[in-house]
Amino acid sequence: MKTFVTGGAGFIASNLADALLKQGNEVIVYDNLSTGQEMFIEHNLANSKYTFIKGDVLDKELLHKKMQGCDTVFHFQANADVRGGMENTQIDLNQNIIGTHNVLEGMRIHGIKRIAFASSATVYGEPEEIPTPENISPVQTSIYGASKYSAEAIIQAYCEYFDIKSWIFRFVSFMGPRYSHGVIFDFMKKLNQNPSTLHILGDGSQRKSYLHVEDGINAILMAMEKAKEKTNIFNLGNREWINVTDLADILCETLSLKDVKYTFAGGVRGWKGDTPFVHLDIQKISSLGWKPKYSVEETIKMTIEYLKENQNLLEAR
């Protein structure tokens, strides 16, 4: 395939680009480097099957020009800061909804018929059913989640109008190599500044599931090979979950920090829009023959070790 990867210099999509190259595909990465990292792509720049283009999905002229001739789009560019929508109520609209529409328009113009979309477990809001299946009707609790859900709907409409096939993936938080934002990232930055105290948003009881990025990418590629509907929606998560305080304990133990004092702010939510319990039903993706290789605890520990070895990431943001 000739693939087009938006956000391909970011944490997840740069790992995806590596996997696509290993399969023998041609890969065009399109990223504005606002949160993506040059260090995540530099090892591929000499590869004749790899092209990097610095560009924003809001730049329709450049985007549409560079998409021409591609077979499959992996649309991973987005605002990934759930809390950011509280201060900037336009960012999710622009980056996640209008950006997705621009990608779909490029596909329509150039006759590209396959798209994989990075959605999010946040589309479920605060679901009553845990583990949460794909077929519930969610109530939105964040602008970010609403923007991802809206983008899903626009993709499905384009599939019906223009005979496009889509694979929509609702992620729990991914961790692993090139991890560059999230709870462990935030905690390690705080502990670097003050190793005796860790401030935790919420009361520490929030329960979350995490997935290693390698497992997630394997699931994506398997689903695209085996799932044949016009629109295919899959949860991607782990069978386990962990609460935030226990995660902090693993972090401190792995960093050999003793007697760290935890302080807390808030109740069962770390912020408005935070979901106290994120645990997805993964039976649908599992039915294709996929299962996670790494446990939640293994994933957390591997991520901590990666950041220990790549302190420059912590310093860059």
Domain holding 146: CATH number?
3.40.50.720
144 and 261, same domain (yes or no): no
Instruction: Provide the domain count of the chain.
Output: 2
Which tens digit of pLDDT belongs to each residue from 147-193? 999 999 999 999 999 999 999 999 999 999 999 999 999 999 999 99
* pLDDT higher than threshold 90 for residue 242: yes
pLDDT tens-digit readout, 84-111: 777 889 999 999 999 999 999 999 999 9
Q: Quick one: pLDDT band at residue 266, thresholds 50, 70, 90?
A: confident
- CATH number, domain of 295, equals 3.90.25.10
**Beta strands across the sheet bearing 114-118:** 50-54, 26-31, 2-6, 72-75, 114-118, 165-171, 231-236
Strands (E), the chain: 2-6, 26-31, 50-54, 72-75, 114-118, 165-171, 173-175, 197-201, 207-208, 210-212, 231-236, 242-243, 261-265, 277-278
Same domain, 84 and 21: yes
Average pLDDT over residues 22-43: 96
Please state, in angstroms and rounded to a whole number, the distance separating the CA atoms of residues 116 and 217.
Answer: 11
Report the C-alpha gap between 237 and 282 in whole angstroms. 6
> Considering 236, 253, 288, which residue would you say is the last residue of a domain?
236
Question: Cα–Cα distances in Å, from 58 out to 26, 61, 64?
Answer: 24, 9, 10
Instruction: State the pLDDT at residue 83.
Output: 77
Q: Tell the burial category of 184 from Cβ atoms under 10 Å away from its Cβ (0-12, 13-18, 19+).
A: buried
Does the structure show a pLDDT above 90 at 80? no
**What average pLDDT does range 182-205 have in this prediction?**
96
248/104 same-domain check = no
What's the mean pLDDT when you consider all of the chain?
96
Q: How far apart are CA 183 and CA 227, in angstroms?
A: 32
Q: Is the peptide bond before 292 cis (omega within 30 degrees of 0)?
A: no
Q: Which of 50, 124, 144, 179 is catalytic?
A: 144
Are 233 and 220 contacting, i.e. CB atoms less than 8 angstroms apart? no
What is the pLDDT averaged over residues 302-317?
Answer: 91
51 and 155 within one domain: yes
Taken as a whole, the chain contains a residue count of 317
Two structure tokens written together for 264: 């807390």
Determine the pLDDT at residue 74: 98
The residue among 187, 219, 236 that closes a domain is 236
Same domain, 250 and 280: yes
Locus of tokens 């794909």: 134
Backbone angles phi, psi at 213, to 5 degrees: -60, -35
Structure tokens at 64: 């549409």
pLDDT tens for 105-148 read 999 999 999 999 999 999 999 999 999 999 999 999 999 999 99
pLDDT over 90 (residue 317) = no
Both 184 and 301 in one domain: the answer is yes
Structural domain range at position 160: 2-174+210-236
- Supply the pLDDT for residue 87: 81
Catalytic site includes residue 50: no
d(CA 225, CA 218): 11
